[in-house]
Amino acid sequence: MGMGHNTGCYEDSNDSTGYQGGIPLANHDKKRQDVVKRETLTTRQGRPVTDNQNIRTIGNRGPATLENYHFLEKMSHFDREEIPERVVHARGTGAFGYFETYGKVGDEPVEKYTRAKVFSGAGKRTPVMVRFSTVAGAKDSPETARDPRGFAVKMYTEDGNWDIVGNNLKIFFVRDAMKFPDMIHAFKPDPASNVPNPERMFDFVSRSPEATHMITFLFSPWGIPATYRHMQGSGVNTYKWVNDKGEAVLVKYHWEPKQGIRNLTQEQANKIQAKTVSHATQDLYEAIERGDYPEWELYVQIMEDGYHPELDFDPLDNTKLWPEDKFPWLPVGKMVLNENPKDFHAQIEQAAFGVGVLVDGMDFSDDKMLVGRTFSYSDTQRYRVGANYLQLPVNKPKTKVRTNQHRGQADHRDPGEFGDNHHINYEPSMLGGLEEVSEEDRIPHRPSYNAEAISAPIDRPNNYGQAGETYRRFEEWEREELINNLSDALALCDKRIQDAMIEHFTKADKDYGRRVKEGIERKMKELDAGTEKLPGRESKWIKFSQGSMDAKQATKDAVDKSHEADPY
């Protein structure tokens, strides 16, 4: 350890020891105050602070007194500055802007399909807040991870908030919400070692063939978007639009970046990660600061609500794409992000999205993942931010709120939300208070069913058809990257898992399965050749597979290539 040679009183340049330009900081600040008028620092109770540098003691080096109120308040608040981290989508950033509607769906009036006011009136702008994120990583994890990216949009419409909570990739790993907690457990680090382990993920995926399509996208260059500005967005799940007559159609949402789409290879991502873990956050912030506002066009695909026997898949299956030649993309508006957050914690970290946050003119489909997400997302916010998370400015609708849901921790709503009679906090009532809106103005959509209540998979899983189509649609360099990435990860897995994954890929496309098999064999030979260099091989696969090959080598390099130091 090297010790600084100059630890004296003054420095000629800026440093962090309490001096600046040869002037003690306290004096320097006083001189600055002659030029810049500054607000007085106060406690959170509003009392001006006279000393923010020293706690109160008996003598200048004696014991601290108990009534150090300013210090105790300052420290106790510091201890509580963070709220619980999101279980998924913890790493992220965001910005503000507007959505501008075209007033049409393609060439047709939007009112034909939905009465949602956010889409009516060409040129109308609605304020938005957007949060981009990774999925599995922790709050400060690298933004170069091979991981889906969250793409969550909150629109503050005239009919209340509308959230489109999706990802950059248009499909998902599983189609039934029952499997979601297990999926995330498998994708997270090992609960015993806390080391990321690809074998865990592939162990789960090998028994979930519906994930083959998503894995094909994820391990291709599409699994690492270059930046948040250069990625697509999708609602992933299927929703419904409802018109004035109560008639409904199925709808899917797609965001297309006007900046173009850019992806990274694993090698490119590794080089970026060696220099920064926040490149995407920095890129978005700096682009907006310089006036290079990112834009996305919003498209929808529309399908009649029904079983659609002519399709070889279930249209409510979120592991599938709707073919564009049958269900064309229709433009409905554009989104522009032109404002950065002023307080990241208040405006981005506390931003709370919910899949069930819809407005009049929209409804839920019977997509099994959508039903589960509708409960989970808002329930997460109640735990993470608090029961009154919707009262925070970033989450609060810009239209008037009138509700009898009140109290709870940190309730600070406007008393006007009670309505004209503050004594009536229930409904119905003959004495006053709030009342329901008439259905005459908002004819509801009422789907009908004639089936048993059962727990069963869908009858058209077709787990491999679109995975093969996607593989064949890739450019050759994308296929090569896909095979290399899969081979790297699967070479560390149990032989049973390898065989199962090869079978899945082969059922999607014979060339796909063959190349993955050959790639795994090639990587295995490299591992065998490097047995003496990499620790853990003697412990067999279950221990050897803790982390990737690169992580294994890096762990060894940390010891072998580090510099010894003497105690001090």
DSSP state of 537: G
Mean pLDDT calculated for residue range 484-500: 97
Backbone angles phi, psi at 446, to 5 degrees: -125, 85
- pLDDT (tens digit per residue) in 354-390: 999 999 999 999 999 999 999 999 999 999 999 999 9
* DSSP assignment letter at 348: I
**167 belongs to the catalytic site:** yes
Residue 478: strand, helix, or coil: helix
- For this structure, is 89 an active site residue? yes
Mean per-residue pLDDT, 111-128: 98
Output the average pLDDT for the chain.
90
Query: Averaged over 484-493, what is the pLDDT?
Result: 96
Higher-pLDDT residue of 271 and 426 is 271
Report the largest interatomic distance among the alpha carbons of the chain, rounded to a whole angstrom: 86
CA dihedral angle for residue 392, residue 393, residue 398, residue 402, rounded to 10 degrees: 30
Q: Find where tokens 């970046």 sit.
A: 257
* C-alpha dihedral sign at 116, 118, 119, 124: positive
Percent of the chain with pLDDT strictly greater than 70: 91
| pLDDT one-digit tens code per residue, 216-246 | 999 999 999 999 999 999 999 999 999 999 9
- On the 0-12 / 13-18 / 19+ scale of CB atoms within 10 A, 254 is buried
Q: What integer pLDDT is reported at residue 33 of this predicted model? A: 53
Tell me the whole-structure pTM to 2 decimals.
0.88
Task: Look at 406-420, 451-465, 481-495 and tell me which has the smallest mean pLDDT.
Answer: 406-420
What are 335's strand-pairing partners?
A: 99, 296
Least trusted range by pLDDT, from 301-310, 354-363, 463-472, 524-533: 524-533
- 249: three-class secondary structure by DSSP: strand
Least confident interval from 36-50, 477-491, 524-538: 524-538
Residue 454 CB-half CA count within 13 A: 6
Residues 98-114: tens digit of each pLDDT: 999 999 999 999 999 99
pLDDT tens by residue, 148-195: 999 999 999 999 999 999 999 999 999 999 999 999 999 999 999 999
Contact 354, 390 (CB under 8 A): no
Buried b (16+ CB within 10 A) or exposed e, 20-42: beeeeeeeeeeeeeeeeeeeeee
Would you say residue 517 has pLDDT above 50? yes
Specify the higher pLDDT residue, 4 or 496: 496
The phi-psi region of residue 18 (left if phi > 0; otherwise alpha if psi is between -120 and 50; otherwise beta) is: left
Dihedral angle of Cα 504, 505, 506, 510, to the nearest 10 degrees:
160
Q: Alpha-carbon torsion 286, 292, 293, 298, what sign? A: negative
Which residue out of 54, 68, 70, 167 is catalytically annotated?
A: 167
pLDDT score for 152: 98
Catalytic entry in 27, 28, 60, 89:
89
Whether residue 32 is predicted with pLDDT greater than 60 in this model: the reply is: no
**Residues 420-472: tens digit of each pLDDT:** 888 988 889 999 888 888 887 789 899 999 999 999 999 999 999 999 999 99
The Cα–Cα gap between 289 and 278 comes to 17
The phi, psi pair for 453, rounded to 5°, reads -85, 110
Would you state the structure tokens that stand for residue 159, as one six-digit string?
């009919």
Is 9 a residue whose pLDDT tops 80? no
Residue 532 pLDDT level (bands cut at 50, 70, 90): very low
Structure tokens at 269: 């991502």
